Amino acid sequence: MFAALALTILASSAAIFVHADPDPNNPGPGDVFIEGQACTMSWSPDTTGVWKTMIIQLKTGDNFDMVNLTTVGTVDGTDATKTTFSYTCPQVTPHSPIYFYQFSSPASNNSVWTGRFTITDTATDIVPAAESTQPDGSAIPWGTGKLVNTTSTTTGGITSSMPATASGLGTSSATSSASASTTTDTLTSTPSSGSQATGGGLSLAAQSIGWKTALTLGVSALGFALLL
């Protein structure tokens, strides 16, 4: 009996030790950042060494249908000496407390989030969030913003065994075990014309060789006729 209890405690301790994703400390509800000035954030580092590449994205939307606005940076989430990041706040609309950051890593299936905060042009120009409750009924205000003069990237819903709910983005930070089906941003580009140009060049070269061969054969035939 005691042996079984000891094993249970050890297993629980091991699970806690292994699951040590970065933990966002700020920003969160009530924080206001001014466009064109520094947008800052901080976190507690990953202690497992997994999050060497930590991608930080500015997002908006509800807890279940998050919209990616832009990737603001990529840092080492395991470095305990560098647990803050700053960049120039973008212009957004509306100026509401509907923006948050997502931290993710290609080496982990988990994602973590900050709480929602405001980006605005002046501290007095703040519009309340358009929605007062989440789709699941949680009393967490939200809305969907966008970058000014810039097209936002693809809307990305997250499929997860632990979706960000009332205990999630309504507080200073949230975490979730996002599955491999997490939507990523994809940019569609037109096919390169390089291969087409190369093909055209090859066809032209083939035609040139054909004409040169025919001309050579014609001269040879004429010489042979004169000899006869």
pLDDT of the residue at 191 = 38
pLDDT of the residue at 50 = 97
The highest-confidence range among 3-7, 82-86, 197-201, by mean pLDDT, is 82-86
176 or 67, greater pLDDT = 67
- Residue 133 tokens read as 């409750």
Q: Has residue 34 got a pLDDT over 80? A: yes
Mean pLDDT of 186-209: 36
85 or 187, greater pLDDT = 85
How do residues 44-75 score in pLDDT, each as one tens digit?
A: 999 999 999 999 999 999 999 999 999 999 99
SS3 5: helix
Of the candidate CATH numbers 1.10.10.10, 3.20.20.70, 3.30.56.10, 2.60.40.10, the domain formed by 12-177 belongs to 2.60.40.10
Q: Calculate the average pLDDT of the chain.
A: 74
Amino acid at 213: T
pLDDT band at 19 (very low <50, low <70, confident <90, very high): low
Instruction: Look at phi and psi of residue 169 and say left if phi exceeds 0, alpha if psi is from -120 to 50, else beta.
Output: alpha
pLDDT of the residue at 87 = 99
Asked whether the beta carbons of 12 and 97 are under 8 A apart, the reply is: no
pLDDT of the residue at 149 = 81
Domain boundaries, the chain: 12-177
Could you tell me how far CA 207 lies from the centroid of its own chain? Answer: 49
pLDDT of the residue at 151 = 55
According to DSSP, the residues that pair with 56 across neighbouring strands are 73, 103
How do residues 123-169 score in pLDDT, each as one tens digit?
A: 999 999 999 999 999 999 999 999 998 655 543 443 333 344 434 57
